[in-house]
């Protein structure tokens, strides 16, 4: 499944109004750990059709990062029914990221 790049303007439509689970990757271009996580996030998005995968650039949309209490990146927030269910911060391998997802679905 493709990854949706979300902005403040599209957040409500893409995340808040989504009936299913949404995993959001909060990241920045300059963040090396974020760049390290990108292939892992993309691979999981291809593997899991039951979850919508989104990315939010914290430099372009700091308001979204503040709304979800993001103070370190990369950060991953799982949203279900428009509400944040859980958050994980830092670099994870594929198994850890999938375990985070599984624990909250």
* Residue 31 belongs to a domain: no
Number of domains in the chain: 1
The CATH number of whichever domain residue 77 belongs to comes to: 3.40.30.10
The model's pTM is 0.95
pLDDT band for 96, please (50, 70, 90 cuts): very high
Q: Are strands 21-27 and 75-80 parallel, antiparallel or unpaired?
A: antiparallel
Condensed to tens digits (0 to 9), the pLDDT of residues 34-44 reads 999 999 999 99
In terms of residue numbers, what domain contains 51?
Answer: 3-23+39-104
pLDDT band for 105, please (50, 70, 90 cuts): confident
Where in the sequence numbering do the catalytic residues fall?
A: 31, 34
Assign 90 to helix, strand or coil. Answer: coil
pLDDT of 31 higher than 70: yes
* Residue 30 belongs to a domain: no
Beta-carbon contacts of 97 under 8 Å, excluding residues fewer than 6 positions away, are 37, 40, 41, 44, 76, 88
């Amino acid at each position: 499944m493709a990854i949706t790049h979300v902005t403040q303007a599209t957040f409500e439509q893409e995340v808040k109004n989504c009936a299913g689970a949404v995993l959001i990757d909060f990241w920045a271009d300059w963040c090396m750990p974020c760049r390290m996580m990108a292939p892992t996030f993309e691979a999981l998005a291809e593997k899991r059709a039951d979850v919508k995968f989104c990315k939010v650039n914290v430099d372009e949309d700091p308001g979204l990062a503040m709304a979800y209490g993001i103070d370190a990146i990369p950060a991953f927030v799982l949203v279900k029914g428009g509400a944040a269910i859980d958050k994980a911060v830092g670099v994870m391998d594929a198994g850890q990221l999938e375990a985070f997802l599984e624990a909250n679905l």
